[in-house]
Amino acid sequence: DPQPEDCVIEIGPGLGFLTEFLAQTGCRIVAIDLDRECVEALGQRNLQGVEVIHQDFLQYDLNAIESENLKVIGNVPYQITTPIVARLFGEIGAPSPWLHRIKSLVMTVQREVAYRFTATPDHKEYSMITLLVDYFAKAELLEIVPSDAFVPEPNVTSAVVRFTPHKESPIDCADHKLLRQIIRAGFKQRRKMLRNNLGFLKITPDEAGQMLASLRIDPLARAERLTLEQFARIANAVTATR
């Protein structure tokens, strides 16, 4: 839903069919694509308000765009979907320098990746990237897109996901770096119980289990069963003992 005051960053515009539609809203558009032929073809269309950039988005400095109302849209190669999300948001405890300017992100991704972004605890797709997304934004699966909706037709089913960055942190956490370390440790060997993955805290599995129980967290739980808020509780408990 672009507004005239917005700057829309389009990742992978291709030949510009969506770009043309967006341009009709009167917003500014920065279209970034690594494919030289697509960049040249889009540039020749001379769409008003559209700046076409030939570059790898993962290498592009978003600080070059002067706007406080960034909206990002992407239809990108599926293998770089997660790196793009991580670049836009940052990592737990270290947000990107442009995150505060991003008002929304809408991406067409592989269906399984969409499930990973929007999964809930105990779902088979629940993972570290789920928690990264939860930390920074609200993720919504908007639509499943069949493969025959694309030309050329991919071998996978796609989905459209919208991310709306949080205006305030969704958790109360005293040490966000420690939170990140605990989450990483928990998912490093995700089939293990979390209590057995916290050795880096210099505590035994029994001590870890007692701490979890005191926080009203199942001491036998694996990381994939915990919410972001529960991980934050663990981080706060560890911080309180230091």
Predicted confidence (pLDDT) per residue in 79-107, tens digit: 899 999 999 999 999 999 999 999 999 99
H-state helical runs in 24-158: 36-43, 81-89, 111-118, 128-136
* pTM of the full structure: 0.92
Q: What tens digit of pLDDT does each residue of 201-235 get? A: 999 999 999 999 999 999 999 999 999 999 999 99
Whether the per-residue pLDDT at 78 is higher than 90: the answer is no
Fold of the domain built from segment(s) 176-240: Helicase, Ruva Protein; domain 3 (1.10.8)
In angstroms, rounded to a whole number, what is the distance separating the alpha carbons of residues 211 and 228? 17
CA distances from 209 to 206, 217, 218, 220, 241 (A): 5, 9, 8, 7, 16
In angstroms, rounded to a whole number, what is the distance separating the alpha carbons of residues 184 and 63? 29
Domain boundaries, the chain: 7-165, 176-240
Question: Which CATH superfamily groups domain 7-165?
Answer: Vaccinia Virus protein VP39 (3.40.50.150)
In angstroms, rounded to a whole number, what is the distance separating the alpha carbons of residues 53 and 51? 7
Q: What tens digit of pLDDT does each residue of 133-179 get? A: 999 999 999 999 998 888 778 889 999 999 999 999 999 999 999 99
The pLDDT of residue 153 = 82
Which residues have C-beta within 8 Å of that of residue 71, sequence separation ≥ 6?
2, 6, 7, 8, 9, 27, 102, 103, 104, 105, 106
The pLDDT of residue 24 = 93
The reply to whether 176-240 shares the fold of 7-165 is no
The pLDDT of residue 154 = 84
Closest C-alpha among 51, 108, 54, 105 to residue 76: 108
Whether the per-residue pLDDT at 190 is higher than 90: the answer is no
Mean pLDDT of the residues in the chain: 95
The pLDDT of residue 151 = 73
The pLDDT of residue 242 = 80
The pLDDT of residue 150 = 80
The pLDDT of residue 238 = 97
Q: What tens digit of pLDDT does each residue of 29-61 get? A: 999 999 999 999 999 999 999 999 999 999 999
